[in-house]
Every structure is written in structure tokens, then in C-alpha cells.
Amino acid sequence: GKAVLNVSFFANVRAKLRPLLAKHRLRLGDGMKVRIFGHLDVFAPTGRLGLKMSGVDPRFTLGDLALARDEVVRRLVASGLLDANRRHSLPVVPLRVGVVTSVGSAAWHDFHDELQRSGFGFRLRVVDTRVQGEWAVPMVTASIRALARRDDLDVIVVIRGGGARNELAVFDAESIAVAIATAPVPVLTGLGHETDRSVADEVAHSAFKTPTACAASLVEAVAGALATAERAWSSTVALALRSLADAEAGTARRTDRLHGLTRTAADRAATALAHRVERVAASAPRQLDRADAAVAGRADRVVRAAPARLAAAERRLDTLATHVQLLDPAVLLARGWSITRRADGAAVRSVHDAPVGTALVTTVADGTITSTVTPEHPQEPSR
């Protein structure tokens, strides 16, 4: 079996080590690699050998964390992922934000309150995630990947509060770094440490020391976009006002010029009209005399030609009266003609207009004859 050595870590020793751990920003916890100092001790009743712990070597733990971190960075550089996320452009107005954090923590409240105070319409999609402890690495990785699959986010933010250096080593994990590097939108980190940079910070689009600073960067980006839009609007309004002023000035100049041209044209027209009136007044008597002479001449010709034209008209009327009299139906009937109509008044012009059984009315000079069409009987042979 495995050799087991019990280590005793008493409260008085823990109190003595607390300043040393705090100086190096370390906190003892499960899974932490440490080098310890102590002396052997035998428990007399059982003869069991143990070790009474008297100190730790922080340089060993820090060196182990640094080696692991450097190895992850080396692999990221080799695969071209170290600056992959920084190649994404931050949206002009990053209002749709995915957040990976422990909801309810001070980090979450600091981040949320900073955005809330801005008054801008940020829309947050938050994934409640453990950011320290045994399950932190897989949970943070899964949360980043889940947000990366959405198509309604402008940025993803990963935040947590400050802590011991070995606890922040969670964000040196390669799986978290790869999830950040391959995200389709910029990833921002605010991991709450003032001096150290984690691998997540190195691979992120932008890294901030605190969650508040991370939120402030988003507020600043939106405020900058708003200021740019307002400047553009102000410039547009100013340009429009200048254009209107120029147009009004141009219109006024054209109006003045048109007024002058109109007055000149009216004066010219009045002068020309006056000249024409004078010419008309001067030539009117002559024109009237010529017109009177022409009318008198035409009147004489009409008077001389009237008897001949009247005689010709009378002869033409006599001729027309004779033709009309010849075409008068009464005259034709008197000469032996007749007109046959059906009962409906239609004239019979063909045998096809009067089939057998048709009632006929025949008009002659002195009255009418009513008849009915009968079948044709063959003539009897002559005897």
C-alpha cells in the first residue's frame, strides 16, 4: 500500500504563517502544491509517526504556478491563439453583454451597479458560474462557450473579485484561455487583481484590473459613440442651417434682380404699347374710310346680282318640287302601285319575308287589302 504520513497543522502555527501567506498573496486550499517545513513526532500510545508542520515555502508554490502558466502561454503562442480574440473589433455601441461571474458576489454587484448608473440601455445575459474552487475551471470554460454560441451579443465579460494568487490561478487554465481566444466576439476580463496578469487576461481582447473598471470601459465606449453621434448631428444641423441661410440669401438676390428686370420690362412694354396706341389712333380713320368704301362696293355688287341669283334659285326649287312630286307615294299608288306590309309593319320586299300563314296588309290608292299567305297549289293541266 501507499505510505502515509500524517501532518499536523496546529492553530498557533497557522496564525504565525498567516502574514507570510498574505505577503505572497497565497491561501492554502485543496489541490495546492506546497513545500512544508516541520519535525517528526511519534505518538507514544500507538507508535505512529507523524510530522508537525512549522512553515511553508511560498517560493515553491509560486514557482509551480509560474511554470504551469508559462507552459500554457507557450502552447497558445504556438497555436496562434494568443492574440486571436484581439483581432475582433469592439462594436461601436456594445450594449448587449454576456457576463460570466458568480451572481450575488461583490464583483457582480460592482459591475452591474456601474452599468446601471450610466443610464444607458445595457442588456445583460448572465451565466451564474463558480469562479474558484475545484469545479471553477470546467464551469467557467462551459459558460464562456455557451455565451459564444449566441448570436445576440456584442461582447462577453468574465469577472470576479480579488483573491489569493493561487485562487486566481484558475484563470491560467488552458481550457479557459482557448474558450476566450475562439469566441466570435470580443472578450473582456475584470479579475480583480492589481498586479498580476492571468493567462485569461493575456488572451482576452481587453483586460481590466477590476470588474468596475471593466464596466466603466463599456460605459465609456457607449458614451463615446453617443458623443460622436451628437457631434455628427450638430454638424449636420449647422451645415443645414448654413445651407438654408445661403439659399435664402441667394433667393433674396434673385428676387431683387427679378424685381428690377420686371420693372424694366413693364416700363418697356408700357412705352411700346403707348407707341402702338398712337399708331392705331393715327391710322384708324384711314382704315375706317377704306373699310367703308369696301363695304359700299360689295353692297352695290350684291344689289346688282340679287335678281339673277333669285331667279336661279326659283328655277332650282321648281325642279326639286317636280322630283318630289314624282316620288310622292300617293302619286305612285294612284298610278297602280301598292305597298304590302306584315302585321308588324315591316315592308315585304321578297317572298322570303312572307312565309305561309303570314298576315299581310296591302295598301292601294283608295284603301287597304288584308290577306294571308297560303301554300302554293300546282296548276291543273289544261283541258
The pLDDT tens digits for 257-302 are 888 888 888 888 888 888 888 888 888 788 877 888 888 888 788 7
Percent of the chain with pLDDT over 70: 78
Taking residues 364-377, what's their average pLDDT?
Answer: 84
- The sign of the CA dihedral 141, 146, 148, 152 is negative
Q: Which of 232-241, 327-336, 362-371 has the lowest mean pLDDT?
A: 327-336
* Cα separation values, 19 from 16, 25, 62, 193, 324, Å: 7, 10, 16, 19, 148
All three cell numbers of 71: 507552459
- pTM score, two decimals? 0.51
Residue 145 pLDDT > 60: yes
303 Cβ partners below 8 Å, 6+ apart? Answer: none
Distance CA 114, CA 186 (A): 20
Distance CA 87, CA 83 (A): 7
* Cα separation values, 361 from 77, 228, 271, 328, Å: 124, 105, 85, 20
Q: Where are the alpha helices (DSSP H) in 94-210?
A: 106-118, 136-148, 165-168, 174-181, 199-203
Q: pLDDT tier at 64 (50, 70, 90 boundaries)?
A: very low
Q: Where are the alpha helices (DSSP H) in the chain?
A: 11-23, 58-79, 106-118, 136-148, 165-168, 174-181, 199-203, 211-327, 329-334
Taking residues 152-181, what's their average pLDDT?
Answer: 83
Q: Is 366 helix (H, G, I), strand (E, B) or coil?
A: coil
CB 36 within 8 A of CB 52: no
DSSP 292-342: HHHHHHHHHHHHHHHHHHHHHHHHHHHHHHHHHHHH-HHHHHHTT--EEEE
All three cell numbers of 277: 396706341
Distance CA 260, CA 266 (A): 10
Most confident of 8-12, 336-340, 358-362: 358-362
* pLDDT (0 to 100) of residue 247: 87
Q: pLDDT tier at 378 (50, 70, 90 boundaries)?
A: low
